[in-house]
């Protein structure tokens, strides 16, 4: 049988690292992409790729590198990169320079969109068994449903909201083909934002559920540590 491949875009030590370890333990060959990527294998055996998600045009090369290294396209793609910019004038939420809005939007929305495009192109092509579950997971937060008049969160909220829309649309549009697209959002038990207390292993456990396409989990996949999917 063909070894399944997972590509994790944005491989930080909490969520990215935890998800990589979990998927590797489930038998996936894993590629991770980040600014510090080396082009070599890590001590864990992951393929480490250098990436700049402020430049969406560079994303297709990451998929090419994965196919070359593993002789297979990734059936699981996780987008875990994010960016924000504080306004230079704390009293004016719209003082963030346009070039920073553009750069952050590239990282938060355009690059994951390109990654999803590349994933679908790969899934439509020959090579992956028909029985292989195809999954795209975007690490989200509460900002797609909660507007905060806070300058620091502006670009992040804009990007999360925009991405949530196309993820939901994609999940519905490709349902008949068996492809799933998820906006994964860890919450506190009361449904409030988890903020900076997000838990890497909890993401890994939940993402492992998502790649199995378990019944009853919608594209807007809100979850609580130790409980899994919880509808809020």
pLDDT of residue 12: 84
Q: Which of 134, 121, 159, 124 is nearest to 78 (CA)?
A: 134
pLDDT of residue 1: 58
Going across the sheet that includes 29-34, the strands are: 47-50, 29-34, 5-9, 76-79, 134-139, 179-187, 220-224, 228-229
Does residue 160 have an active-site annotation?
A: yes
Q: Which of 133, 160, 227, 231 is catalytic?
A: 160
Q: Check: CB of residue 114 under 8 Å from CB of residue 105.
A: no
pLDDT of residue 168: 98
pLDDT of residue 131: 86
CA–CA separation, 88 vs 136, rounded Å? Answer: 35
- Domain positions in the chain: 5-229
pTM (two decimals): 0.97
Out of 3.40.250.10, 3.40.50.720, 1.10.287.890, 3.90.1300.10, which CATH number does the structure's domain 5-229 have?
3.40.50.720
pLDDT in tens, the chain (232 residues): 579 999 999 988 899 999 999 999 999 999 999 998 888 999 999 999 999 999 999 999 999 999 999 999 999 999 999 999 999 999 999 999 999 999 999 999 999 999 999 999 999 986 788 889 999 999 999 999 999 999 999 999 999 999 999 999 999 999 999 999 999 999 999 999 999 999 999 999 999 999 999 999 999 999 999 999 999 9
pLDDT of residue 230: 98
């Amino acid at each position: 049988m063909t070894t399944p491949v997972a590509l994790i875009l944005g491989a930080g030590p909490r969520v990215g690292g935890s998800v990589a370890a979990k998927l590797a333990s489930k038998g996936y060959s894993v590629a991770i992409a980040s600014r510090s990527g080396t082009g070599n294998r890590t001590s864990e055996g992951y393929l480490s790729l250098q990436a700049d998600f402020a430049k969406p045009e560079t994303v297709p090369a990451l998929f090419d590198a994965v196919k070359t290294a593993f002789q297979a396209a990734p059936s699981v793609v996780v987008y875990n990169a994010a960016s924000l910019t504080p306004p230079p004038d704390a009293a004016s939420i719209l003082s963030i320079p346009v070039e920073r809005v553009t750069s952050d939007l590239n990282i938060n929305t355009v690059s994951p969109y390109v990654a999803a495009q590349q994933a679908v192109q790969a899934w439509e092509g020959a090579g992956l068994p028909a029985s292989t579950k195809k999954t795209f997971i975007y690490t989200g937060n509460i900002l797609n449903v909660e507007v905060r008049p806070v300058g620091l969160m502006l670009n992040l909220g804009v990007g999360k909201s925009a991405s949530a829309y196309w993820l939901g649309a994609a999940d519905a549009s490709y349902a008949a083909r068996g492809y799933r697209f998820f906006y994964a959002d860890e919450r506190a038990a009361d449904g409030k934002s988890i903020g900076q207390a997000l838990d890497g292993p909890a993401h890994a456990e939940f993402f492992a559920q998502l790649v199995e396409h378990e019944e009853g989990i919608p594209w807007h996949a809100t979850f609580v540590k130790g409980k899994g999917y919880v509808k809020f």
